Structure 1
């Protein structure tokens, strides 16, 4: 006879096994997205990597949105970007920008493989573009914080805003740091100089 205690124990173990399976599928998705990119990762590959059947993947994640949401949440939990609110406490705009870039660029270096893949696939996978919405909002918020407090004539404001947005961009860091082999500190200094030059455009 199965007692209530045994039944509860079995239910607990079953739930733990299901949670572990879900975790393996999520981690496998992250691993393959980082190694290959979302556009080159199939459900079959995820299932094989996780050691489960395709049907098991679909049982835990019935559609692409559910799978991508879990993958993004898991990866972001492990790799949180620098907090822009910390930069807002720095009164000097130049120091604020330098501090921001010196925090952001090492983050880009640590996450460069995943970031390269998702930027590549953003243009070919609508789901990746949708998932990138949070990252774009993050960059916009950071740009506004770094623009605040600068004394800029109105005609130049959009130019300086664009220069700051450019400096925050992962593809810009990738070009300077990976393709041109500049250290992160030199990338930061170069972009700070770019923003200062944008602020002075038109001066005699």
Structure 2
């Protein structure tokens, strides 16, 4: 069997390209290149394995930072959470946190991706499925109210925290604006049979906010009764606005 020990290539007098191994073995040109390829492949695979481990470690570190940040935001609020707080909770140095997330907006954006997945806000793209088989605006509005109530139940803690610091953190404003835009689009889809104008949609935005849901929840209505009551409020508001000529 040909040795694959380290070698020094040279050209012999008979013209054969060969290698001089530690044990003095001489190999042909084809064997030399086969061994060279084997060695180079081993180096490449080793380097790729090292890079893969490093990348996995980076992902794990980022996730530790994000999870620590989310927990602290829930406990202390966003602007009251410092980099040192996050580093201590994650078991890392402050410099490591800053290397991955150089400012609050970067941290909030990364956390927002996790928060959105956990909260699962109603998606306007799901409107056709959401309102399938519901022909009247009353039926569609009732369905949307139930979806919004479920969403508020899942996400009200983090929505309230985000609202507190919305004016101070740009990423929070973008996140809450995204939620508002989604709700606006769903209201328009729900009211499509009535061909609503912008003024009517904005009135429904105010009346379908999380603040209204909180008031109903704090009044100790059963969830299904609260949803029915809320739907009735919205429907009566629509009728009143139309009758008064505001929309």
TM-score by length of 2: 0.71
Q: Residue in 1 aligned with 2:20? A: none
Correspondence 1:199 to 2:242: no
Unmatched runs of 5 consecutive residues or more in structure 1: none
Q: Residue in 1 aligned with 2:73? A: 33
Question: Which of the residues 147, 152, 155 maps onto 2:191?
Answer: 147
Could you tell me how far apart the structure 2 residues matched to 1:55 and 1:15 are?
18
Q: Which has the higher helix share?
A: 1
Question: Which of the residues 123, 129, 133 maps onto 2:173?
Answer: 129
Unmatched runs of 5 consecutive residues or more in structure 2: 1-5, 7-41
Could you tell me how far apart the structure 2 residues matched to 1:29 and 1:183 are?
34
Q: How many equivalent residue pairs?
A: 198
Question: Which of the residues 151, 175, 182 maps onto 1:138?
Answer: 182
Q: Residue in 1 aligned with 2:155? A: 111
**Mapped contact 1:163–1:194 kept (Cα < 8 A):** no
Q: 1:162 to 1:132 in 2, by over 3 A?
A: closer
Q: Residue in 2 aligned with 1:76? A: 116
Give the deviation of 1:123 after TM superposition: 4.0
**Mapped contact 2:121–2:179 kept (Cα < 8 A):** no
Correspondence 1:181 to 2:220: yes
Secondary structure, in 3 states, of the residue corresponding to 1:40?
coil
TM-score by length of 1: 0.84
Which deviates the most, 25-34 or 68-77?
Answer: 25-34
Q: Residue in 2 aligned with 1:93? A: 137
Give the deviation of 1:126 after TM superposition: 4.0
Give the deviation of 1:162 after TM superposition: 4.1
Secondary structure, in 3 states, of the residue corresponding to 2:105?
helix
Correspondence 1:6 to 2:50: no
Secondary structure, in 3 states, of the residue corresponding to 2:194?
coil
Could you tell me how far apart the structure 2 residues matched to 1:73 and 1:163 are?
29
Q: 1:93 to 1:54 in 2, by over 3 A?
A: same
Question: Which of the residues 99, 112, 123 maps onto 1:59?
Answer: 99
Secondary structure, in 3 states, of the residue corresponding to 1:39?
coil
**Mapped contact 2:145–2:227 kept (Cα < 8 A):** yes
Larger relative contact order (CA 8 Å, sep ≥ 6): 1
**Mapped contact 1:22–1:60 kept (Cα < 8 A):** yes
Give the deviation of 1:87 after TM superposition: 3.1
Could you tell me how far apart the structure 2 residues matched to 1:194 and 1:122 are?
28
Q: Which has the higher strand share?
A: 2
